[in-house]
Structure formats: C-alpha cells, structure tokens
Amino acid sequence: MDSGFIFEPPSDEEIEELQSEYEEDQGEEVDVEKPSKRAKQSPWDFAAYSESVSDEHFRRRTTSVDFKITKSLQQRSVPIVDNDHSDSEFDQHEDYKPEDEDDFSNAGDTKSFFAPADGASFHANSFMELNLSRPLLRACEALGYSKPTPIQAACIPLALTGRDICGSAITGSGKTAAFALPTLERLLYRPKRIPAIRVLILTPTRELAVQVHSMIEKIAQFTDIRCCLVVGGLSTKMQETALRSMPDIVVATPGRMIDHLRNSMSVDLDDLAVLILDEADRLLELGFSAEIHELVRLCPKRRQTMLFSATLTEDVDELIKLSLTKPLRLSADPSAKRPSTLTEEVVRIRRMREVNQEAVLLSLCSKTFTSKVIIFSGTKQAAHRLKILFGLAALKAAELHGNLTQAQRLEALELFRKQHVDFLIATDVAARGLDIIGVQTVINYACPRDLTSYVHRVGRTARAGREGYAVTFVTDNDRSLLKAIAKRAGSKLKSRIVAEQSITKWSKIIEQMEDQVAAILQEEREERILRKAEMEATKAENMIAHKEEIFARPKRTWFVTEKEKKLAVKADKVILIIYINVWDDY
C-alpha cells in the first residue's frame, strides 16, 4: 500500500494534472460557482438495490399484504369507513404541566461527550474553501449543496490530513457527506494501477448502508471511484463477485462483511487505508461489539479511522480506545440540542384507555397529520397490524421492520420517499441515520425506551432547518421519560387532547375490522407454511441432484463471539451429563 495515500496530501502538480484531466474528459470548462439551472438530484435511490417486490412475490408464489387488503375491501358489502372528517369536536391543546416536580430537575440530563478540537473551524462559506477537487464540487452542485454544514466545515479539512476523527452533530446535519467528501478526495490520488479495497464503511442497519452507498455513488458520479454494497438480505454471490473486482469503497453491515472475509476467496482488507464507523453507538446497541472488534483486528494498524454518530456517549469510549489513534474530537451542535423548528406534543393514554390507542392514532392520521408521517411502533407484529388497519381504513401506508424481506423494506422506503404512500409504519430500524427528505411528522405510537431513542426518532423530522412535528403517546408507565422529554423541550412542549367523539368513532370501526384483520393474518400464516414446505422439498431435490458438487464445496465458517462460545461449551457439558446419566441407567 502506498504510504503517500495514507498520510501525505497531494502535491500542487498532482492537483493541476488531475483537474486538467477531468476538464479534458468533460470537454468544456465548468464554473462551479455558478448555480446550475438543472433539476437538483436526489442523493437517495432505494429502488435500484434489489429485485422488485412483485417479482419476488411471483417467484415465491405469495401475494402482498396490499393485495390481501384490497381483496378484503372488495368482499366487504358496506364500507366501514366514511370519508366525512368534519367531526363537530376538535382536538384541544394546552401547555404540558408535569403532575409532580419531584426529581424533575435531574430528568433526562444529557451531556455532550466531545469538546471541539482546538483550532477546528465550524464555518465555511462554500465547499470551494475546503480544498475539494473539481469533480466533487460538481457533484455537490448537482445535489444542491451550496454551503457546508458546521460538521462538514470542521471535519473535511481535518480528514484530508489523515487524522483520526470522532464526529458528533445534530441529526440531519450532513454527517454522511462530512466523511464521504474527504474520503473521495483522497481516493482521487490513489495508485490506480493497484486495485484494492481502500475504504470500509460500517453501518448498523441495511437501510442506512443503502443510503450511504447511494450518496457516495452520487458524490462520486464525476470520478472513476467504485463503491460496493455488502449487506444481508441481498445476493451473496453478486456481492462476492463485486468484492473480487476490488472496489475502492465497501459500505457494509458488520455480519455480512465478516461472512465474506471468512468465506469468499481473494477478499481481504490488507490494503485498507480508511475505516469509517457510522452511527457507532447504535452499532454497539445492536450487539455488534464483537463483530466490530473482529473487523478492527483484521484492518491494518496503519490506517485512518473516523467514527461518526448523532450521539457519542461513554459507551463508545472503549471502541474509540481500541480503533482510533490520538483522535480529534469534533462536536457541532450537540444532539441533545432541540431543533428550533420542531414542535413537540404528547398524547396522554390514561390507564384503562390503552385499548383505544389504535383509535387515537387513526383519529390523528385521518384528519390532522395526513401525509409525510413516520409512525414508530414497538414491535414488528404491532407495525404489521397497523399496516393492515390503515389499509382497511383507506389510508395509504407502508411498513418497515425486520419481518420483511430486504426487497420489501427497500420498496417501503422508496414508496414513502416518492410520496406514493402517506405513512411509513416502522420499528426502530428507521430511527437512525435515515434522511428521508420532507418528513413532516413523527408519531411515537410506542413510547421510546429512553431519551436517546426519542432524540433519534424525532430526528427524522425538522431536519436541516425544516419545520416538523413530533407527537408521542405516553402511558402512566412512561412518566420518567415524559419528564426527560419535558425538560428537553422546556416550555414549548404541548399536550394534545384528542377529541372523544373521534376516538369513539374509530374504536367502533376497528371493532368491525377485526374479522378482516384475522382473515388476512390467517392467509399469511398459510402462505408461510406452504412456502416453508416448498423450500424443504426444493432443498431435498437439490441435495439428490447435486450431491457431489455440494459436498465438494469448502465448508462455510461463521464468526462466533466469546459469549456464544461459552454458551456452546455449556450446552455441550449439559449434553455430556445427560449422556452419562443415561449410560449409568443401563
């Protein structure tokens, strides 16, 4: 690996040569200071990463939940939902007042983990001031990026020097571009005759990986830099082929990346120059600690490491000590800071009234928050039930959770991004990092478990200076979190009282829908049983037809954490004891 790529910035001669090369390729001079009259590109494209859901259903011989809902609606003789939203009774608003002030002053106390690095500037008037090359400036212009955000202004110049960085900034502040731009700038001067994987970007969720990959592809559109996506749920063979071609950048989730490193031929990280951990605290929360440690161990010690997240807590401290060397700590707009454009409300769900929570939600979504709404549910099952209820109520909604295939998850994001549906019903898989432009409202149907989760959820709206609403359903069991939210919002927190007449109406409608919901769920269960039987039969046929070829393949190995090793040893001991006892009986 060329050591100059790691630590030395390009010379003036290299810069002039590269820029003249790109100008010749384009055939004309591009004035990056003049605003483009062409339509602004979107950095996100979720549709291009997997087969269409209709093709997937055809291949699996199943039908979508939307098809089942439509069939159920056609079979219903009299419509349950009327379109008259002119209820005589309106929702009421009032300033939130805590029921008691005990220990209120200590609720939700948050402290920024990092202090700004000495000498770091969080202000720049344009991307030209950050010493970026012409191809990247053209991409920024095409994407509509005119002025760097504080985290970008601080991070880009320092990252270009090869320093290790820990970056923290308010959600929606452009952290992806903050690490993508300096990484791409340095890759422009890589030794092109030696293809190698030079950059590894790790994210906690597949959807965030797709989003990061999509943005890097857009920023690198005027360069010859290649980027590869490696996540679960998509074709392993296609990813293996892409990795063998030695792309410059790999965007991955930890588990699938380790799988390829252990089982794919000619795939390694020996020439890695930059390691980036995006949403690092979430990586640890989701249990990827052992996988991250393993990947860090496989990376060359002589590398640049950048660690980014909306919140950087003390839980990340050990990871920082393990993977970074004398890092600069950058904190631009701490994530605990409340966006001034965010309106926060709570809806109190009193005890004995929790059965009406779905009715409260449908009441709000049918007449108050009617478009560009993300609804966070607590479980995958709850999200799916809400999707069915919304469909039967003629409200256009998509669902996003772990019980869906990757194609279905990406299609849900694409439908919501293109506003083909008004509501995205999701679990916390959508709470981190995803930047879906134009989200107007976030509804916490299930109260988040802590203030950090709340911050990330409501961070899907009121992004980059846009206005947004955050509505949280709270029960008597959520009083401690409610205090923390109240302290964060201050006097701006409102309490919404949903009209009783509307709740009663929707409670009756949901009761009438229950038979249809049960029928749809039963049809899905039958499809799963049939598909499982077909898969087992196909597997048996393949084993018979291709027995020699299958057994000739090298056996796949899997990464096992220390905890899993101990559990396996414990299980073996139990089996051994049972075997000895049985033997003694004979």
The SS3 assignment for 247 reads coil
Taking alpha carbons only, the member of 366, 368, 407 closest to residue 389 is 366
Q: Read off the DSSP letter of residue 106.
A: G
Q: What is the pLDDT of residue 28?
A: 46
Q: Using CA atoms, how far apart are residues 166 and 169, in angstroms rounded to an integer?
A: 10
Residue 229 forms beta bridges with which residues?
A: 251
Q: Domain count of the chain?
A: 2
Residue 249 forms beta bridges with which residues?
A: 199, 227
Strand order in the sheet with 342-348: 92-95, 494-497, 342-348, 468-474, 441-444, 373-376, 423-426, 397-400
In 518-565 the beta strands, taken as DSSP E runs, fall at none
Please tell me whether residues 227 and 96 are part of one structural domain: no
**Residue 141 dihedral angles phi and psi, to the nearest 5°:** -65, -45
All residues at 6 or more sequence positions from 47 whose CB lies less than 8 Å from its CB, including other chains:
410, 411, 414
Q: Using CA atoms, how far apart are residues 178 and 52, in angstroms rounded to an integer?
A: 32
Please tell me whether residues 26 and 157 are part of one structural domain: yes
In 136-231 the beta strands, taken as DSSP E runs, fall at 165-169, 199-202, 227-230
- pLDDT tens digits, residue range 308-327? 876 666 777 888 888 898 89
* Residue that has been written with the tokens 């965030």 in this structure: 208
Q: Specify the DSSP element, H or E, that contains 210.
A: helix 206-219
**Residue 79 dihedral angles phi and psi, to the nearest 5°:** -65, 135
Q: What is the CA radius of gyration of the chain?
A: 26
Q: What is the pLDDT of residue 333?
A: 59
All residues at 6 or more sequence positions from 520 whose CB lies less than 8 Å from its CB, including other chains:
65, 68, 69, 72, 388
Please tell me whether residues 101 and 124 are part of one structural domain: no
All residues at 6 or more sequence positions from 244 whose CB lies less than 8 Å from its CB, including other chains:
264, 265, 266, 267
Q: What is the pLDDT of residue 137?
A: 97
Q: Is residue 357 within 8 Å of residue 478, measured between CB atoms?
A: no
Last residue of a domain, one of 277, 297, 332: 332
- Is 59 a member of any domain? no
- Is 89 a member of any domain? yes
In 20-164 the beta strands, taken as DSSP E runs, fall at 92-95
All residues at 6 or more sequence positions from 167 whose CB lies less than 8 Å from its CB, including other chains:
151, 154, 155, 175, 178, 179, 306, 307, 308, 309, 330, 331, 332
The SS3 assignment for 112 reads coil
Q: Using CA atoms, how far apart are residues 229 and 252, in angstroms rounded to an integer?
A: 6
- Is 562 a member of any domain? no
Q: Is residue 178 within 8 Å of residue 156, measured between CB atoms?
A: yes
Last residue of a domain, one of 519, 543, 558: 519
- Is 533 a member of any domain? no
Structure tokens, 128? 């030209």
- Is 566 a member of any domain? no
Q: What is the pLDDT of residue 87?
A: 55
Structure tokens, 279? 């949403």
Please tell me whether residues 220 and 289 are part of one structural domain: yes
Question: By residue range, what is the domain housing residue 160?
Answer: 3-30+113-332
Q: What is the pLDDT of residue 204?
A: 92
Q: Which residues of the chain have pLDDT under 50?
A: 1-9, 28-36, 101-116, 335
Structure tokens, 288? 């990827």
Please tell me whether residues 138 and 97 are part of one structural domain: no
Please tell me whether residues 355 and 464 are part of one structural domain: yes
Please tell me whether residues 367 and 473 are part of one structural domain: yes
Alpha helices in 418-499 (DSSP H): 451-458, 479-489
Taking alpha carbons only, the member of 335, 336, 363 closest to residue 347 is 363
Please tell me whether residues 118 and 104 are part of one structural domain: no
